[in-house]
Amino acid sequence: MSQSLNREEPNYFGAGPALLPTSVLQQAALDLITYEGDSIGIGEISHRSKPAIKVIDDTKANLTKLLNIPDTHEVFFMQGGGTTGFSSIAYNLVANYAKRTGKKGKVAYAITGSWSKKAHEEAERLGFDADIVVNTKSEKFGTVPEYSEWKSIDKDTAYLYVCDNETVHGVEFKDTPPDSYLNGVELVADMSSNILSKKIDVSKYGLIMAGAQKNIGLAGLTIYIIKKSLIEQPTDDEWKKLNIALSPIAFSYPIVIKNNSAYNTIPIFTCHILKLVTDLLLKEGGIEQIQQTNEEKAKLLYGALLKYPDFYELPVTNSKVRSNMNVVFRLPTEDLEAKFVKEGSERNLQGLKGHRSVGGIRASIYNAVTSKSVKLLVEFVNEFAEANK
């Protein structure tokens, strides 16, 4: 069998699972059949074989290099995406807090869009004492207030949870809450839709969780970066005394870490894709380069939309927190929105429909979406406004 693995470079703006670099998919396609001269493919080998362990270790090393992860932190992988993270974070960090302090501890959430809202709901559902320090639902998640306006965090709090980029509502944090606000409480961030899109200071976070399926890989694998002091869990006897919900064993961070992310069968093909994506990012100049390109792309697109303020409406009214990854906007009517999606599609600009819960238009301009694609979209944004305003 010899068929072309070529494709026209797509202009795809879907929010996730999302576009991956063509060169990565081509290499992965070949590796699916035979891997590194072996007679079988990367998806068929044991997760405890040397080549599989090397894939895991190389991916961790690439992430460490790209994000400049300090020795104080540990990288590991789990199956599932954000939804699994919502549960596993609460289970593990509350138990770790109890281990360290002897107290059950509360948890705190900043609700700035539908994903942080779901994370909070899951913590509550599992029976944790979950505070809300800010909730912008009444403002339709169109802004994030200054930290000085956030409710102060109770001192016996295991962590403050933020969603660094809200994929549905297009809200992104451009900094972290100041130490004076956190007051020693650990910061936890869901970066599922913007990990590796920009430079971050990992040392500021107790834990970072990021599903791979948006900016950097296939669905089915999630990156965790945890401060080592937050790993340890209570002993069995301590658990019983503390009366804290116990996670399923596959969610236990110490067990996953001790087994180099392969306590259960890690989807090694999916990890390999992540390895190839991070190889490419390193080759292309690392995080600084990616961040610069992403900022330029976002500036270009927001700029075009802002040129027609009577035609394009930006639901994220606070320009400081507009996402560089998910650009959401509305048109004057739903009919025009449908027309925009249809005509875009006819020009091969795909995946522009907004999330079903909010409607409108969403252009996700992740790492793999090229500047060329964004320029084509910008042309269309201009022409559509001129033709329909």
Q: Who contacts 186 (Cβ-Cβ below 8 Å, separation ≥6)?
A: 93, 158, 159, 160, 205, 206, 207, 227, 230
Of 75-83, 95-103, 133-141, 171-179, the window that binds a second copy (rule: CB under 8 A) is: 75-83
23, two tokens: 């060169």
What is the β-pairing status of strands 130-135 and 106-111? Answer: parallel
In the complex, the smallest distance separating the C-beta of residue 78 from a second copy, rounded to whole angstroms, is 9
Q: How far is the CB of 261 from a second copy (least distance, A)?
A: 12
Are 358 and 170 in contact by the 8 Å Cβ rule? The answer is: no
Give CA–CA dist 16/351, Å, rounded: 10
> Which residues 29-68 are close enough to bind a second copy by CB under 8 A?
29-30, 32-34, 39-41, 43-48
CB 190 within 8 A of CB 162: yes
Instruction: Show the binding pattern over residues 278-317: x = contacts a second copy (CB under 8 A), - = does not.
Output: ----------------------------------------
Cβ contact 108:160 at 8 Å: yes
Residues 332-351 that bind a second copy (CB under 8 A): 348, 350-351
For a second copy, which residue of 105, 142, 177, 211 counts as binding (CB under 8 A)? 211
Residues labelled as active-site residues: 115, 190, 214
Category of 103 on φ-ψ map: left (φ > 0), alpha (ψ -120 to 50) or beta: beta
Residues 127-146 interacting with a second copy (rule: CB under 8 A) = 127
Nearer residue to a second copy within complex by CB, 14 or 177 = 14
CB nearer to a second copy: pick between 267 and 359: 267
Interaction between residue 5 and a second copy (CB under 8 A) = yes
Q: Which residue, 347 or 375, has its beta carbon nearer to a second copy?
A: 347
- The nearest distance, CB 169 to a second copy, in angstroms, is 17
Count of residues in contact with a second copy, rule CB under 8 A: 76
CA-based radius of gyration for the chain: 22
Site for a second copy in 248-277 (CB under 8 A): 248-251, 263-270, 273
Complete DSSP assignment for 222-280: EEEEEEGGG-----HHHHHHHT-PPPPGGG-HHHHHHTTT-SS---HHHHHHHHHHHHH
Q: Could you say whether residue 370 binds a second copy (CB under 8 A)?
A: no
Among 76, 77, 91, 97, binds a second copy (CB under 8 A): 91
The whole-angstrom separation of Cα 333 and Cα 359 is 11
Stretch that binds a second copy, among 16-24, 60-68, 141-149, 196-204 (CB under 8 A): 16-24
